[in-house]
Amino acid sequence: MAGPKSDFAVHQVGEMRFYTIPRFAREGGVTAAFSTRLGGRSRGVFATLNLGLHVGDDPEAVLTNRALFCAAVGLDHRQLVACAQVHGHEVAVVGAADRGRGAFDPALAVSGVDGLATNIPGVPLITFFGDCVPLFLFDPVRRAIALVHAGWRGTLSRIGACALAVLQEHYGTSPAAVLAAVGPAIGPCCYAVGPDVAAAFAREFPGGDVVRGSPDGVWRVDLWTANWRVLREAGVGAANIAVAGRCTACALDEFFSHRASGGKTGRMAAIMMLDE
Ligand SMILES: [Zn+2]
C-alpha cells in the first residue's frame, strides 16, 4: 500500500477544488477527476458542489454544479454516462449511443451495475460517491477505461477485478498494463463496522491489513487497502496503483460523507473519459 503521501493532485479553480491523477496525465489521452464539495451552488446540507440528483437537492442547482465541474475538468456534462449504482459487482460496457444516459435523469442511467467501461473516445463516464471507493482503470495500450463505484459489498465481491475482467474480455486488456487509482473514500480511521461485516472482510482479505480491532472493541475496515489488494491480486502492478489516501469522513470541510453527516448529504463524482 502507498504511504501517507497522496498519489493524487489537487486543483483549485476559483472556489472549485477537485483531484486528478498525475500518472494518468503523464501517460496522456485520458481525462480523470474526482470532485470535492467545494465550488458549487447548492445550499444547506448539500453545500456546495453536490453532483447527485437522487439525494433531495434542488435539481437545477445540481445540474448547474455538474456543468461547472465538467467545464473545469474540460468536458461536456450533457454527454455524461451514469449507472444506477446498486451496490453490486457488475460492470457494463458502453459506447457512443449511450452518451447522455443519466446526465439529466437518473432513471435513464445504465441499470443494474456499479461500473462502466468503454474504449470509445469522447464518452465521459461518471459515478457518484458519499464515502464509497472510486476506482479508476486505464489501459494505455488498448486505449480502454473503466470507472467503478466500490461500496463495502462491491469491495467484498471484488468489483475492481470484475472491471478488469470486462476490459480483458472486450478489449484484450492485460492487467499488467493497467494504470489504476483508488480515490478519496472513507478511511480506516473512520470506517467502523459490526462484527459480521468485519468477519466477512477478514475471510476475504486475510493477513490483518484490512480489518483492525481496537481497544474500544470497535472493528474498522480499510477499504483503500482492500481495493488495492483486489487490483494487485488481479494482476495490476503495485507501482501502477495510485492511492489518494484522503478520508471523506475526516474532512467534512472538503468532502461529503454519508457516514459522518448522518445520512442526508450531497455526492461527489468521479469522471473519466478517453480524450478525442
Ligand atoms: Zn477518517
Instruction: Find the 245 Cα to ligand 1 centroid distance in Å.
Output: 10
CATH topology of domain 9-187+222-274: CNF1/YfiH-like putative cysteine hydrolases (3.60.140)
CA gap 71, 76 in Å, rounded: 7
Q: What does the pLDDT average to over 242-252? A: 97
Q: Is the pLDDT of residue 2 over 60?
A: no
Instruction: Find the 76 Cα to ligand 1 centroid distance in Å.
Output: 33
Residue 186: all three cell numbers together: 472513507
Q: Which residue has the cell 489488494?
A: 229
User: Of 254, 90, 89, which is closest to residue 184 (Cα–Cα)?
Assistant: 254
For 67-109, write each residue's pLDDT tens digit: 999 999 999 999 999 999 999 999 999 999 999 999 999 999 9
Instruction: Find the 67 Cα to ligand 1 centroid distance in Å.
Output: 30
Residue type, 82: A
Indicate the SS3 state at residue 69.
helix
0.75 cut: is pTM over it? yes
Instruction: Find the 261 Cα to ligand 1 centroid distance in Å.
Output: 13
